[in-house]
Amino acid sequence: MGPAPYALLVHDLVVKNGILVDGSGDAARPADVAVDDGVITEVGDDVGSGRRTINADGLTITPGFVDVHTHYDGQITWDPTLTPSCWHGVTTVVMGNCGVGFAPVKVDQHDYLIGLMEGVEDIPGAALSAGIQWGWETYPEYLDAIDRMPKALDVGTQIPHGSVRVYVMGERGAKNEPATADDIDAMAAIVGEAIDAGALGLSTSRTIAHMAIDGEPVPGTFAAEDELFGLGRVLGDRGTAVFELAPAGALGEDLAAPELEMAWMRKLSAEIGRPITFALTQNDHDPDAWRDMLRLAGDAVAQGASIRPQVAGRPVTLLLGLQTFHPFAYAPEWGSLAILPLPERVARMRDPEVRSRLVRSARHLDPTMVQFIDPAKSFPLGDPPVYEPDPADSIAARAARAGREVYDLYYDLLLADGGRALVMRPLLNFSNQNLDPVLEMLRHPTSAWGLGDGGAHCGTTCDASTPTFMLTHWVRDRVGERLPLEWVVRKMTAETASLYGLGDRGTVRPGMKGDLNILDLAGMALHAPEMVYDLPGDARRFTQKADGYIATVVGGEITMEQGQETGARPGQLLRGAR
């Protein structure tokens, strides 16, 4: 016999028999997916065989999730997997948000930048000091260092205004003194150098809620328009990169700030032709301001600006517990209890006399602290965790029904599960006692999904798990209005990728990067957050795991399988738009 008329193609990886939700928003459909040399090469009914095959029968195939709001700037130097994001289907992260980061930096500024990150993002300074192996000064040198590090995910960066200001202006920059024309020119040159080297954006913070560990606002918080525009024009001159910020008034601390912020953002975006994305949440001080900001963003976009409010998928919460903070932590004797191992602490707290003293102390808390532990706005989190609780499940409401003193019930709830139980206090996005405002924010045509803060707020929350929540709560489990699976996947893939100019990912189509998730949506479950002590120096953080991730693929290599890391390190540093 003569040779076969064709040669059978064997792909590097084939995912067979899945239901494809391709990230475009199109309806789910049966399909196989083939990946070769890190790129999707075929999508169809039968794409042939693979050197590695994943049978996705009964499973869902999606693009890898693109999380554009993380703070892994320090963690990337010691953790190639970037937990917990890798456990929730994320294959691309963007860090350097909110004006804080670790480059550029002079040798004598290392401790300052660590203190800045610790104060703003609640990442233990001791862990950063022990974990970061400094080997750079300029931003291009920082990118080169990240490029050399092993990575399980792709990583994009933004140059932080705070670091640039301190690098150029020293103490004057740290103290938020006005920048001179020469200062602005020097900062603009550094931003340009960073964008040329591959930074995906420039970030700043303008909210007084963001403070360094010494109590000083982030450098750039009060920057005048000439400084903001001087740096923003660098992006316009190059025709690339995103301007990201935490805006003034974000927490309702200045009710006039949101409209003033929108005015300059709108003006700058129209001038430079680049996207401006800013954090948008609902706050209790002005619970309808978010709707006004969405309206203003829509008006700006209609008139040619590119304004993208960045919104969360669930409440921004404090997790209260015996391993974090709680109403009884302010009692005089708590210090002697806090140093005990958790089992001993719980045993001591079960002593009726200790209980009586601690509960009595909680009744006389300083009003400024009550807002953070308010029993009327606090809810047992549970396992699986409930992030949209019924108002009737608040601790105050439960106590009233049971005829119990509220802090007596609070005490019992914290002792559950051997003292590991958590109470959720929603700080943002829950003024209405439901997530209807979040639904409206997510649906707005100008909004981008984000604000998960992966790597940050280690001792208070763990919102990096939001991709799983989006799939379980908004698609499958919510009592009330839900969101289509195809829509949610697009929100976390194609839309976030396109915001940062990452046009090579976010959809499952030939020619796109081979980043995939294979999901068991029916069996997907989010676990309760867990306090662990695995940061450098044994510092603590919350992590959160999930079931239902059968496999995660980055660049054609399986990085996670059945919730376990495979050891593959195909991640790359993303240098610029694609």
| 202 three-class SS | strand
The predicted structure's pLDDT at residue 213: 87
> Can you say how many angstroms the Cα of residue 435 is from the centroid of all Cα atoms in its chain?
18
Does the predicted TM-score (pTM) go above 0.75? yes
Cα(410)–Cα(380) distance, integer angstroms = 9
Task: Give me the residue label for tokens 């020097």.
Answer: 186
pLDDT confidence tier of residue 126, bands split at 50, 70 and 90: very high
Q: Is 18 helix (H, G, I), strand (E, B) or coil?
A: strand
User: Given a cut of 50, is residue 210 above it in pLDDT?
Assistant: yes
Q: What is the pLDDT of residues 280-291, one digit of tens each?
A: 999 998 999 999
> pLDDT of 345-359, one tens digit each?
999 999 999 999 999
The per-residue pLDDT for range 135-184, each reduced to its tens digit, is 999 999 999 999 999 999 999 999 999 999 999 999 999 999 999 999 99
In this prediction, residue 257 has a pLDDT band, given cuts at 50, 70 and 90, of confident
Other CB atoms within 10 Å distance of the CB of residue 29: 12
What is the C-alpha end-to-end distance of the chain, expressed in Å?
A: 48
Q: Express each pLDDT in 465-516 by its tens digit.
A: 999 999 999 999 999 999 999 999 999 999 999 999 999 999 999 999 999 9
Compute the residue count for the chain. Answer: 578
Q: Is the dihedral of CA 279, 282, 284, 289 positive or negative?
A: positive
Which comes out higher in pLDDT, residue 265 or 255? Answer: 265
Confidence at residue 6, expressed as pLDDT on a 0 to 100 scale: 41
pLDDT for position 1: 40
Residue 254 has pLDDT above 60, yes or no: yes
- Which domains, ranges and CATH numbers included, belong to the chain? 65-315+430-503 (3.20.20.140), 318-426 (no CATH)
Q: Please give the Cα distance from 125 to 121 (Å, whole number).
A: 10
Comparing CA positions, the residue from 345, 222, 213, 201 lying closest to residue 275 is 201
**Which residues fall within 8 angstroms of residue 397, CB to CB, at 6 or more apart?**
376, 391
